[in-house]
Structure 1
Amino acid sequence: YQPGHGYSSMGETKEADGKYYNSGNKFSKDRFLPVGPLHCETEQLINISGEKMKLISDHTAYPEPHDGIMVRRDLVKTRQIYNMDDFANAVKTPADSRVERKGNKVSIFLMSQAPNYSMPVIKVKKGDEVTLTLTNHDKVEDLTHGCAIPTHNVNFIVNPQETKSVTFKTDKPG
């Protein structure tokens, strides 16, 4: 191995605790099946609090990981469900679902609530520039909705109460 990046638990705070060290190892190519020009690397989590270091976890990592930090769980405050009011373009009711056309520019506004979309079928013309705006109405943590139109290279997720938009050209049917 060639350790390339390392960091310790709470190491970037005034409360560094000397308990754990993470070694980001480059050039660990002998451990994994080469599946292309980009090879897996490893991250190793080591307990350094005792008399001897102890390897706790040894797993693959996407190549060239940088700038990792390790903090106590109680310091991480994440939002699990968005506030729909934070999105000016949110589709708040089924009645707000619609298709607007101005020439070849089409705006589609729809909502999803597992397992349904407010408009199950949407038709546009070949050559249209389509902006699709989707609001996820679910209020359950981790209940994301996927939206994919593979023939137009569209694939995204919308988290609970979040609104996202994507614009694409309908250059082929489907």
Structure 2
Amino acid sequence: MNALILAVFGALALISAVSMLVLREPMRVALALITSMTSLGAVYGLMGVHFIAAFQVLIYVGAVMVFMVYVIMLLEVKEAPGSKRFSRFVVPGVLGGVLLTGVLGVAVLRGTGSTVPVATGDVFGLVPFSSAFLTQYWLEFELTTVFLVGAIVAALAVVGVSRRRQG
């Protein structure tokens, strides 16, 4: 039963990731991204990595996506009337994706009887993760925070300039 639920959430994540590429409206793309991230959180939870699943849902879905939806709604993105639906890189991109899928499928089929070496050293835990996060990765976390605040200020500046031109 667990494998079936894992397959359903994996397929849902894949379908929503593909739909992000083909949808046209920015809000629908954001909703597809939210679905993909939530499905990945469920996959992590089913695999037993509950801490990463909680981070996936709380930080990515809860914070980053709320920010992205806010910016999309703030900017009121409209599509130009004469714009093309896809760029010229769609055909090479689809061919590359099909080729990558084929190579991965062959690799999976050939490796069905092999075993994967598992590291027997350190066990993942909350204390080692949090100490590494607070000692090694604090700068990246703070830079991300500054970047998000800068993006909000830039979005407000763009909206203010475009509204002054309209009015």
Q: In which range does the TM-score fall when normalised by the shorter chain?
A: under 0.3
The structure with more radius of gyration: 1
The structure with higher relative contact order (CA 8 Å, sep 6+) is 2
- Taking structure 1 as the reference length, the TM-score comes to 0.18
Instruction: Give the TM-score taking structure 2 as reference length.
Output: 0.19
Whose strand fraction is larger, Structure 1's or Structure 2's? 1
More helix by share: 2
